[in-house]
Chains A and B, each alone.
Chain A
Amino acid sequence: MIGSRREVISGRVLLIVLMAVTVLPFVSLLATALQPSGTYPPGLAWPAHPQWGNFTQAFEAAQMGRLLESSVLIVAGVVPVSVLIATMAGFAIGHLRMPGGRVVFLLFLLGLTLPFEGVITPLYYEVQGMGLLNTRWAIILPLIGLFMPFSVYWMRAHFVTAPDELTDAARTDGVNTWQLFWRIHVPLARPAISSLTILLFLWTWNQFLLAIVLVDDPTKRTMAGALGAFQGQWGTNIPLLCAGSLIILVPTLVVFLAFQRHFVVALLQGSLKG
């Protein structure tokens, strides 16, 4: 078994190297963020006098408090509604199998590969026509629509496997369709729903294109969109830019580490199913 032992060791080494490369940009961001503000620091070097004050400065310069609030509002506007209506649609298509459901499903599949850039121009004029440009609704409403193909696809995949017997039994007890959905099938769909919630949270928080096109005011954008504006403003002050980037990616990291098991499972299923 010497061969397999060598395999184990080389596997370990490979994993560690890969992890190091993955973490490198984060370490570099941190080391640079701690350099004196306004300097042009050389490569990767731990500063002699770490300037933790850069974080406070970046926090204030980017109005980080308001950005956080804005991102939370956008997520709160997008995710619950998307999850609810996608679950309802997935239930109807996958479980109730109403007449014409297959056609509706194919219609949703059509949007699965759509790059957002493909529709961003008409979206701009549509949102402008609604008078919503430069408001958070300009990001919230289109995102709900754009998330529908994947979300409905995802929830349908769950409801296709939901047992018919349960529904038939409930029917004989005189349960109406809404109760059947809300009281019986939604609780059973919780794993699928929580994975979808995690994915949509992530995609909303990190949404960039819609934010920079539809909203001019960075404080009404998503975190990612605001970072774009921050780079434009502070692009020459490297330590401050790095500090700002770190602050902006901390919330997703915290949420990720808190729910990491769910995240990994959700992302894996998300790409496998999707």
Chain B
Amino acid sequence: MTRSSNLVAAPPRPSTVVGPPARRRRRSRRTGWAGWLFVAPALIFYAVFVLRPIVLTVQYSFYDWNGIGASRWAGFGNYTKVFTDPELYESILHAFELILFFSGVPVLLGLAIAATIRRIATSRLALVARTVLFLPQVIPLVAAGIAWSWLLSSTGVVNQFLSAIGLGGITRAWLGDFSTALPAVGLIGAWVLVGLCTVLLMSGMTKIDPSLYEAARIDGAGLWREFTAVTLPSIRQEIAVCVTVTVIAALASFDIVYISTQGGPGDATMVPGLEIYELAFSHRQVGLASALAVVLIVVVLACVLPIQRLARKGGAQ
């Protein structure tokens, strides 16, 4: 889940000039060759198992192909279908809705919690919490899916709790109900990601210079003002990381949905990742699956790049 990106390519550091020019020239000439030998194995694996498949995905997306027989040129037909077939474009909309839960909830909740516990961030309890909150990051998402399917089932703990506090009227099989299935899936994602966000934001806040808070207090700033004027600007970078990681997790979600709902009921929780899987391997519509895959790759980039740009701009100010 922590796969993420910071597409900021640091500018090459000016190399320190040591020794007479003759020696430097010799060094760069010798390492020129060796450098490529060092990169070659990684590059070969990357080219064979990532770059080539990307090119192939784009190529497949322009054909009708059942995976076995002959393929037929389809032009942009598959793309037209992605944007006109409700089942397909709704899967993309679902992924965006999941962002609310995968990113919105963990980041906002993480901010609130981290700000509240800022003062005890180095206490024993906070250190224990750091470990506990990381547990969801460590276990397979599949296991999280199974555990939560059970918690959210009609006789699960969630309903047990709701009945206990007098809300028995709204109990239901949360993952099986058309109106609540997608938010319920989102809740599982939020559970997985809230710990990571909290700990990340917490560690960002401990790096803030305490004198900034003192200055704010002297200026008569309240807690809220302190939060918006001191805390938020100082942890811009951490917020950007949280948002990036969680947005990718939402758009590319697969494991949790596969385990907890299989995209159902109906297509209520169908997401692009699962749709690609089913199209390509159950329905044998490789071209259509590939077109959706290309759209997904582009959507992820289109969401992540602006976040990175915002964060960088903020950092420069």
Binding site for B on A (CB under 8 A): 4, 7-8, 10-12, 14-16, 18-19, 21-26, 28-29, 32, 40-44, 85-86, 88-89, 91-93, 96-102, 104-109, 111-126, 141-142, 144-146, 148-152, 157, 160, 164-165, 168, 171, 177-178, 181, 199, 202-203, 205-206, 208-209, 212-213, 223-224, 227-228, 231, 238, 241-242, 245, 248-249, 252-253, 256-257, 260, 263-264, 267-268, 270-274
Verify B2–A271 contact, CB threshold 8 A.
yes
Given A12-B120, A101-B39, 13 other A-B residues pairs in contact with their CB atoms under 8 A: A7-B119, A8-B119, A43-B157, A102-B9, A112-B4, A112-B7, A113-B300, A141-B49, A144-B45, A157-B10, A227-B140, A238-B150, A270-B2
Q: From B146, B199, B254, give the contact of A245 (CB < 8 A).
A: B146
Verify B116–A203 contact, CB threshold 8 A.
no
Residue pairs across A and B with CB atoms within 8 Å: the count is: 344
Verify B38–A91 contact, CB threshold 8 A.
yes
Chain A at the B interface: mostly helix, strand, loop or mixed?
Answer: helix
Q: Which residues of A contact B151 (CB under 8 A)?
A: 24-25, 28
With both beta carbons as reference points, the residue of chain B lying nearest to A156 in the complex is identified as: B10
Chain B at the A interface: mostly helix, strand, loop or mixed?
Answer: helix
Binding site for A on B (CB under 8 A): 2-7, 9-10, 12-13, 15-16, 18-19, 23, 27, 30-36, 38-39, 41-43, 45-54, 56-57, 60, 67, 113, 116-120, 125-126, 128-144, 146-148, 150-151, 155-157, 159-160, 191, 194-196, 198-200, 203, 237-238, 241-242, 245, 248, 251-252, 254-255, 258-259, 272-273, 276-277, 280-281, 286, 289-290, 293-294, 296-297, 300-301, 304
Q: What is the minimal beta-carbon distance from A141 to any residue of chain B, in angstroms?
A: 6
Q: What is the minimal beta-carbon distance from A175 to any residue of chain B, in angstroms?
A: 11
Verify A92–B148 contact, CB threshold 8 A.
no
A118–B132 Cα distance when bound, in Å, is 33
Q: From B2, B150, B199, give the contact of A29 (CB < 8 A).
A: B150
Verify A272–B50 contact, CB threshold 8 A.
no
Verify A18–B113 contact, CB threshold 8 A.
yes
Q: From A108, A160, A209, give the contact of B10 (CB < 8 A).
A: A160
Q: Which residues of B contact A141 (CB under 8 A)?
A: 45, 49
Q: Which residues of B contact A252 (CB under 8 A)?
A: 138-140
Q: What is the minimal beta-carbon distance from A60 to any residue of chain B, in angstroms?
A: 19
Verify A89–B43 contact, CB threshold 8 A.
yes
Q: Which residues of B contact A149 (CB under 8 A)?
A: 46, 50
Verify A177–B34 contact, CB threshold 8 A.
yes
Verify B248–A115 contact, CB threshold 8 A.
yes
